[in-house]
Amino acid sequence: MPNISNGRIGAALWLVLAAALVTYHLALIFSGLVPNLVSRPLHMAFILPFVFMLGNKGRWATISGTVLAAMGMAAAIWIAINHDRLGDQYGFLESNTQIAIAVTLLVVTLEAARRAIGWPLPLVAAAALLYGLFGQHIPGQFGHSGTPIASFLGTMTIAEGGIFGSLTGVSVGVVAIFVIFGAVLNAGEAGQGFMNVAGAAAGRLKGGGAKVSVISSALFGSISGSASANVASTGAITLPAMTKLGYPKRLAAAVEAVASSGGQVMPPLMGAGAFVMVELTGVPYTSIMAAAVLPAVLYFFAVWVGINAYATRFDLKGVDEADQPTGRDVVITSLFFLVPFSVLLWAMFGAGFTPQYAAALAIVAGASLLFFNADFDFRPAQIAERFQSAVMSAARQVSMIAAIILCASIIIGVLAITGLGVKITSLILEGSGGLLWPSLLLTALACLLLGMEVPTTAAYVICVSVAGPALIQLGLEPLQAHLFVFWFALLSTITPPVCGAVFIAAGMIGENWLKVALTAMALGVGLYLIPLGMIANPDIIRLAQNPVLAIIAMLRLAFGLALVSYGLISARKIFKTAVLVGAGLAVIFSGIYI
């Protein structure tokens, strides 16, 4: 069987499928209410071809992918067609045919996640399924009372308690729209606009090449939400530029890895985490953005301070004047992201539309700008290429995130059905002696370990499902607990042994990854301290409720982070390092107002 991703006909077919996927998700926003057991299974049906069939290498991968995609699509479409009748079954399977459909959906979901991101997440989900099916045979408190197989499988597949649960609803209704928005911006001049603005703002400064990377990664990360995508895109420009200026390779790669990782904590996208947080906490999206923005700014501030510290050690130069963007280029290219962002912000905060409706309007604005370029030339071939790039990139990213969320939904469904989440919460409370800070450290360790195996969003969902209730029971606000878990789920992007962003940056520049990782950990120290600082200084996430106290908390944390960063990077003697780091930690955690 030939791989249909090859050849003109294959490319045209994929383009049609990608356009259909994008159109479907936009149509859901503008068409009003659609039953969940229609919109969510169809979402799954649309993404399966891109997960199973696009870019396969080898005959077996192509054949198996085609068969699995067809089976999964048929099962998902059957759910959508029969949603009325299934709603009356209350999650109980009534025939062997329905059991076969349920098993097909679960197997396809596990394999889709494996093909999208590798083994770890589907193995955890498979273990959860086995626990749900056979956990009644486990003695002691970690067993459960058992659920009839028809009820268990039905709840996981034909009701809204498993793969078509609320998390998948977030993927359908919000994540997909913002991913499409990011893909549309990246297909045009917005990416170059980010680079030009960063170059104009920081290029002349000492260590300017690294600071351009920080600013551009913050801007790009705000719409990409993926550390790996951020490194690959902005790094293609910033890494050669830093090397040309004489930056040590390990430092250049570390700067890019750390700056790119920050994109996952920078609103509005936050690597899809913000939208999942909306569903899990019930807190409005705009409130989550307000709570997340100051910690994100602090993160990039800490990186900036670290670059200044390295600049004193290595005499880091700014960008040559000849390589800096002209004023005209900055103004014109910046409009390609300012206009869509302005539409997004106006629609959310001015007109009061929902985030997904506002993003849909911003997509329309961004798509209209694909007809233009910085030279104001009309190039039909370029316009066609941009639209193709936008829809194909959107389809790939929506499909990958959907595969992750569908698989994570299996774990969440099993936790809910069996009550395992409550038992793990009790275990955390017992292990920490009912004390908050030991519970936080246990949770942070769990997030770090799990984040090394699964993507940030999935690690966050799993960790917060089992540890979140314990942290809330110990006195944290729900949003405070969720942000804490989300930040620590991100640690694995720069922390060995996995550190995905470091691997990519080190590979692009040709440096030993461990050297890059050690430099990145010092430069990205804010990633380790800011979530703890959010607990010690809860006012920092209350920007919307009390902006004055939030700013004071931010300044205190900024001062503490600056001391720690300079102590780790600039101080050459152990005593001086200990004094600066100790003073910084005291400021962060003692509540002293500076």
pLDDT tens figures, 128-149:
999 999 999 998 888 888 899 9
The reported pLDDT for the residue numbered 201 is 83
The reported pLDDT for the residue numbered 558 is 96
Q: Residues near 543 by Cβ (< 8 Å), separated by ≥ 6? A: 290, 291, 293, 294, 550
Do residues 390 and 187 touch, judged by C-beta distance below 8 A? yes
Tokens of 30: 């503008």
Instruction: Give 55-113 pLDDT, tens digit per residue.
Output: 787 889 899 999 999 999 999 999 999 999 998 898 999 999 999 999 999 999 999 99
The reported pLDDT for the residue numbered 498 is 72
The reported pLDDT for the residue numbered 543 is 94
Determine the Cα–Cα distance for residues 255 and 252; give it in Å rounded to an integer: 5
For residues 467-474, average pLDDT: 89
Q: Where are the domains of the chain?
A: 32-159, 172-407
Instruction: Give 193-211 pLDDT, tens digit per residue.
Output: 888 888 888 777 878 888 8
Tokens of 350: 């001015």
CB atoms within 10 A of CB 390: 26
pLDDT of residue 451 exceeding 80: no
For the chain, the straight-line distance linking the first and the last C-alpha, in angstroms and rounded, comes to 69
Q: How confident is the model at residue 271 (pLDDT cuts 50, 70, 90)?
A: low
User: Looking at per-residue confidence, does 558 or 496 come out higher?
Assistant: 558
Q: Residues near 354 by Cβ (< 8 Å), separated by ≥ 6? A: none
Q: How confident is the model at residue 2 (pLDDT cuts 50, 70, 90)?
A: very low
Q: How confident is the model at residue 184 (pLDDT cuts 50, 70, 90)?
A: very high
pLDDT of residue 486 exceeding 60: yes
For residues 280-284, average pLDDT: 88
Q: Which of 5-14, 154-163, 327-336 has the lowest mean pLDDT?
A: 5-14
What does residue 10 show for φ and ψ, rounded to 5 degrees? Answer: -60, -45
Tokens of 518: 């050690």
Structure letter (DSSP) for residue 539 = G
Taking the C-alpha atoms of 552, 558, 561 and 562 in order, what is their torsion angle to the nearest 10 degrees?
A: -130
The reported pLDDT for the residue numbered 1 is 37
Q: Where are the beta strands (DSSP E) in 93-216?
A: none
Q: How confident is the model at residue 462 (pLDDT cuts 50, 70, 90)?
A: confident
Do residues 368 and 342 touch, judged by C-beta distance below 8 A? no
Q: Which of 97-101, 187-191, 287-291 has the lowest mean pLDDT?
A: 187-191
Q: How confident is the model at residue 594 (pLDDT cuts 50, 70, 90)?
A: very low
Do residues 274 and 295 touch, judged by C-beta distance below 8 A? no
User: Looking at per-residue confidence, does 236 or 112 come out higher?
Assistant: 112
Structure letter (DSSP) for residue 325 = P
The reported pLDDT for the residue numbered 530 is 96
In terms of average pLDDT, the best of 40-54, 222-236, 327-341, 408-422 is 40-54
Determine the Cα–Cα distance for residues 196 and 193; give it in Å rounded to an integer: 5
pLDDT of residue 571 exceeding 80: no
Q: Which of 40-44, 386-390, 504-508 has the lowest mean pLDDT?
A: 504-508
The reported pLDDT for the residue numbered 386 is 95
Q: Which of 337-346, 422-431, 498-507, 515-524 has the lowest mean pLDDT?
A: 422-431
Please, where are the H alpha helices in 346-379?
A: 355-369
For residues 487-505, average pLDDT: 84
Question: What is the overall mean pLDDT for the chain?
Answer: 88
The closest alpha carbon to 128, from 559, 394, 418, belongs to: 418
Q: What is the pTM of this model?
A: 0.83
Q: Which of 102-106, 152-156, 245-249, 393-397 has the lowest mean pLDDT?
A: 245-249
User: What is the torsional sign of CA 386, 389, 395, 399?
Assistant: negative
In Å, how far from its chain's centre is CA 391?
A: 20
Q: How confident is the model at residue 6 (pLDDT cuts 50, 70, 90)?
A: low
The reported pLDDT for the residue numbered 453 is 59
Q: Which of 77-91, 204-218, 293-307, 519-533 has the lowest mean pLDDT?
A: 204-218
What percentage of the chain exceeds 70 in pLDDT? 96
